Amino acid sequence: MIDGSLVRAVGTPTRMPLQESEAIVLRSYPLGEADRLVSFLSRSVGRIRGVARGARRPKSRFGASLEPLSHIRIWFYERETRELVRIHQCELLESFLDLQRDYQANCTLALMAEVADTVLPEREAAEGVFRLLLHVAREIRVSNTVALPLAFYTLWMVRLAGWLGDLERCARCGATLAGVAAWSRIGAVGLYCSRCRQGGMRTLSAESLELARRILAARLENLRELGSRLQPLREVSKFYLDLIEYQIERKLLSRPMLEAGT
């Protein structure tokens, strides 16, 4: 006779010990009548998806902690053979709900969250992206601007993903790009000088290229004097958002909403 306890042990996924982590909520979707499906970036584990039972009920213990870009402390269980974790509890450390009353800030935060949620592989530690998200969201609040923070975030996400080529020299002939415009195909490694450019390439102006170099060399709060240079900043964002969309092989859904309001 087969031991019933053995059958239960084999047939039921084992629940792992409760895990605790600092995290940022990337996206949150309704699931069923009362639950939420949440994608969050754990500082220690990476991007994870989980279910928050009862999160949509009026008196849910989760409160506003599962709003996008919320900085939280999260407790969750994993089960063997299951992709989704079970979210047990959240403590809200920092909220950016106040920024969502401004259309451009709201769209920018949504785009930042979508990029991280799409670019990052599951369960790969990405503390650099975690710190980048918090740093840029806080700067949007302090500076009350979005053009510079978005350019900073987009460029650094491309660099952290390993898709950023050399900004100093032509990828083909090695000529310096200091003080001149550069060209590139979407998905191409590096930039090209005027002599090596080919038909159909996109242009990155000399001013925008210099801004990109400065962004990579300084902290965001030390670049605030650049915030009024809207056109080159938007050119940097567009250039590298195009590259992100090429790499992920789809369009970012929140991007048109932001661009429609600028």
Per-residue pLDDT tens over the stretch 97-136: 999 889 999 999 999 999 999 999 999 999 999 999 999 9
Distance CA 151, CA 210 (A): 13
Domain boundary among 76, 95, 114: 95
Q: Is residue 89 in a domain?
A: yes
Average pLDDT, the chain: 92
> Do residues 140 and 243 both lie within one domain?
yes
> Do residues 144 and 73 both lie within one domain?
no
The number of folded domains in the chain is: 2
Taking the alpha carbons at both ends of the chain, their separation in whole angstroms is 72
pLDDT value of residue 3:
47
DSSP E strand stretches across the chain: 19-31, 35-42, 46-52, 71-77, 85-94, 182-184, 202-204
Q: Is residue 126 in a domain?
A: yes
List pLDDT tens digits, range 176-216: 999 999 999 987 879 999 999 998 899 999 999 999 999 99
> Do residues 52 and 160 both lie within one domain?
no
Each as own residue / partner, the long-range contacts of residues 3-9 (CB below 8 Å, 24 or more positions apart, any chain) are none
> Do residues 224 and 144 both lie within one domain?
yes
> Do residues 181 and 85 both lie within one domain?
no
